[in-house]
Amino acid sequence: MTYAIRGFHYADYIVFVTTIAISIGIGIYYAFAGSKMGTTSEYLVGSRSMKIIPVTLSLMVSFESSIMMLGFPAEVYTHGMMFWFTCFGFGFTMLIGSRLIVPLIHPLKITSVYEYLELRFKSKTVRTIGSSLALLNTVIYMGIVLFGPAIALQAVMGFPLVVSMSVVACASVLYTSIGGFKAVVWTDVFQTFIMLLGIFSVLIKGTIDIGGPSEVFRMGKEGGRLEIWNFDPDPTIRHTFWVLTIGVTLRSFGLAVGQAAIQRISSTPTQKKANWVMGVAGPLFFVTMSLATLEGLIAYAYYRKKGCDPLASGQITNPNQVMPLLVMDIFDSLPGMPGLFMASLFSASLSTLSSGLSACSAQTVEDYILPYMKPKSERTKTILAKLSVVGFGIISVGVSILISTVGGSLSQIGFSLMASFAGPVTGVILLAMLFPFANRKGAIVGVIVSVCFTFWIAAGSYMSPTLMKTPRLPPAPVDNCPVGNFTINPYNYTNIALQKIEDFKHYEPKGLDKLYSVSYLWLGGIAIITVFGIGSIISWCTGCIKPKDTDAKYTIPIFDRFFCCLPECILKPLRCGIDYSKRMSSKLRDNYDVIIQLDTNEAEKKQSTDKINLEHV
């Protein structure tokens, strides 16, 4: 089959290039018009003086990349609107984080979250293992994010994948390396509006072309895309209500305790503002991700009405190319609009990529350079941080090329790979926070076993030759596809799809395939629970940390946070013998010290001013 690739109008190029140029311009501004990134604190966490709104928007778009812009609609297009339930998990996790993670992390004034692991377990080994796995996970994630816009450009313009990946990486590396954390945050703010503008443009124009919201949902229902209620507890079913809510919520804790989120928490001047950042980001996650899933339903309804399914007809070969093709179709007579969508897609990817590069830079400096080397000046530290941004940008392009050889939806690829590394890291951080008795040995063994177990499942699910994959829902009709371009039998595709669905109903996995068939969305939860279980057992066997030896400021009184109405006679044993009143008094003392330091600084500043005035006299 051949497909005539349509190129951009010159107006599309103008919109697209302008968006990228503004993003780079913001980085240049903060590199040369600001204070020129004199310290690592300013370069990595914005001198801990950032405002609520920009940091909140930055936190949101840091995790809303091409996986959301392309992968979410692709999931809905091929498997239905049930995927929408994942939006609850992402949003709910951020709300929990504002109650659990912020009160613990913000007072510590750390830059790398893995420094917390060393403080909690008094072990550089735990810190190094956690940081290394997180770096590996972030690099893989950035590779997936780079792949998204590349296949979009390939679909609409025939642009080479490697060239597209390199362009996105270079733009992100440029403004991240020269502008630092402030450039990342303020570029994220700009890119948030571009991303939302692109999403709403597709939603509005697509709905109008189909005939209104009622037609969208009618066609979605006829095509089986609105069958969302599946309460089957079987963990091997790809998507059910339980895995899309509970499984995704557990997995999403990796976002809340990840380096990108911790940097944003630490960049705010007060704990109250940090609470607002995570608390507001939760509902924003839910809204924007819901809009992305709705795009998938509109795409299906559009091609059903058109009578030409692009996947079944061979116009595209990857479900992640559905959205770029839809944009070219619905905006065919409106030059500039396809460029706007591509700009929104690239904006989402640039935001995530720049956040990942900034996170990797912070980890490299804080976890691998400063503990073992002592750079003579802040300028040297900042230069090393900038060089690490460039290095990780190059690595992410290489990973993206490898990702391009793997078939399947971006969301499934991303969730599976990240669960193998992010899940165990999330587990060990939560183990440190929630299990006061857990010790260093339990943390090390728990995270290693978890990595091996979850990676085994993820790899087996892709490589098992006998494992039957969950079939896609029947495609839209292909009766009206152009006969001149495609060799189509309009009756075969639907029949083949229905036969695959029927065969899958009678399929029973055997042997290890039973393990490999576990839904990819459970992997994050499996990784976390494995760390909890193994870590607790090893800690008990090797000698738990005694309550008197536990520093209260490194653990969380979870029952006090969420069940404060319970009587003291119940709450006291649930604290595992930890006296959290010391934590409160310590916190008050720290605040007092900060006030005294501020007063001292003001006094010194005043004395300096008075001295200058006397000299002039």
pLDDT, tens only, 344-399: 888 888 888 888 999 999 999 889 988 887 766 778 888 888 899 999 999 998 88
pLDDT for 1:
43
- Residue 415 neighbours by CB distance under 10 Å: 25
- Residue 495 neighbours by CB distance under 10 Å: 11
CA pair distance 66, 327, nearest whole angstrom? 15
Report in angstroms the alpha-carbon separations of 601 from 18, 465, 577, 589. Answer: 44, 68, 40, 18
Q: Scan for tokens 């190094």, then name that residue.
A: 128
Give the helix ranges, DSSP H, for 86-160: 86-105, 113-121, 124-157
pLDDT higher than threshold 50 for residue 478: yes
pLDDT for 53:
94
Amino acid residing at 520: Y
Least confident of 23-37, 114-128, 426-440: 23-37
548-605 pLDDT per residue, tens: 888 888 998 888 888 878 888 888 888 877 877 755 544 444 443 343 343 434 444 4
Of residues 385 and 406, more confidence is placed in 385
Q: Which two tokens stand for residue 277?
A: 């950042």
61-86 pLDDT per residue, tens: 887 777 788 889 999 999 999 999 99
Q: Scan for tokens 């899933």, then name that residue.
A: 293
159-193 pLDDT per residue, tens: 788 888 888 888 888 888 888 888 889 988 998 99
CA pair distance 349, 453, nearest whole angstrom? 30
Of residues 445 and 25, more confidence is placed in 445
Q: Which two tokens stand for residue 481?
A: 């596809």
224-239 pLDDT per residue, tens: 999 989 999 999 988 9
pLDDT for 526:
94
Q: What percent of the chain has pLDDT over 70?
A: 85
The CATH classification number of 10-409 equals 1.20.1730.10
CA pair distance 608, 183, nearest whole angstrom? 33
pLDDT higher than threshold 60 for residue 313: yes
pLDDT for 467:
82
State if pTM tops 0.75: yes
pLDDT for 582:
58
How much is the mean pLDDT over the chain?
Answer: 83
109-137 pLDDT per residue, tens: 998 999 999 999 999 999 999 999 999 98
Q: What percent of the chain has pLDDT over 90?
A: 38
Judge contact between 184 and 58, C-beta under 8 A: yes
pLDDT for 597:
40
pLDDT higher than threshold 90 for residue 320: no
pLDDT for 270:
93
DSSP-derived secondary structure for 364-380? IIIIIITTT---SSHHH
Ramachandran bin of 248, using left for φ above 0, alpha for ψ from -120 to 50, beta for the remaining angles: alpha
CA pair distance 97, 543, nearest whole angstrom? 30
Q: Which two tokens stand for residue 18?
A: 């302008």
pLDDT for 604:
42
Number of helices and strands (H, E) in the chain? Answer: 26, 0
